[in-house]
Structure 1
Amino acid sequence: MATVHSKIKRVREDFLHKLSRKIVNENQVIAVENLNVKGMVRNHNLAKAISDCGWRQFCTMLKYKSEWDGKTYIEVGRFFASSKTCNVCLNRIDSLDLDIRSWTCNKCQTHHDRDVNAAKNILFEALRILSLGTSDTANGGNVRQPNKTEVLLDAVPCEVGNPIRLTVG
């Protein structure tokens, strides 16, 4: 039984290495969502699937490979409402149960696949953070500059509860 588990572990690691290398080779900026994996595993219906995919290990591989190649790796915070925010008009719905896989924005009437919408929002948020210079990059970029004052700024007026730090002169 131990040899079977060992083989599965090696196959999974091989897949994660190949996939992370492919993603880093093909992109300049890699944006991922910082998921609460420990909390997600508490859901007994999803625990096995979440554990099997090796999300934390995959993110670690993406990060160090990005660093090696001088690419930018950004983790968007876990409290950013990526699934519940319309990527077209930025309208945010109050709640979205996990079993709802698609939804229609009640403001702009755009129909969204939950995962595609979340991916677009994570990308847009990472690019916004990157453009504001507020995120550490995998290649050692510095967030704070000497002799600058830090202020809190809500970059998107309709974004609620996600203040970011911005350095101003």
Structure 2
Amino acid sequence: GEIMAYEISKGFRYEKMEITTPLDVMEVSVAAEDVVIATILRAGLPFHHGILNYFDGAENAFVSAYRKYKETGHQSFDIHIEYIASPSIEGKTLILADPMLATGSSMDLTYRALLTKGTPAHIHIATIIASRQAIEYCKANFPEEKCTIWAAAIDPDLNESSYIVPGIGDAGDLAYGEKL
């Protein structure tokens, strides 16, 4: 998350600010953007934490979005959002952080849920691994002029269950153990 945050920060506007240390006063550059980091629970929490380490003054938003499978084969599902906790995002820079971007539909529904809290000035979609299909989906469904997609890796395919191939497995399970 920290490496991605560093890359995202390169596009921010900065302003000078005077700070006082125990030994002297100096002028430093600080981001002129109000940042809200939003993540999809639970898989996104470690990634969110890494981004927050870099943007320690950012506000935080959390959304529970999960796949609700229609049958046991896990080939057909809907995305359900049950919980949202967010400050106003009106006119702010919104970083949507989720480690895996498989189809893009969870990210899209998360963004639409967050729009109840205002309209951001700019959106950064930050992910570790995305499928090509998800990148195309996000390009088609997010406002192009104010959305930047950051992906550390783009994997070529989704399987019949819409899992990224080759991918890394379930990010939430890798971080916190299997769901009960």
- TM-score band by shorter chain is under 0.3
Compute the TM-score of the two structures, normalised by the length of structure 2: 0.23
Structure 1 or 2: larger helix share?
A: 1
Compute the TM-score of the two structures, normalised by the length of structure 1: 0.24
Structure 1 or 2: larger strand share?
A: 2
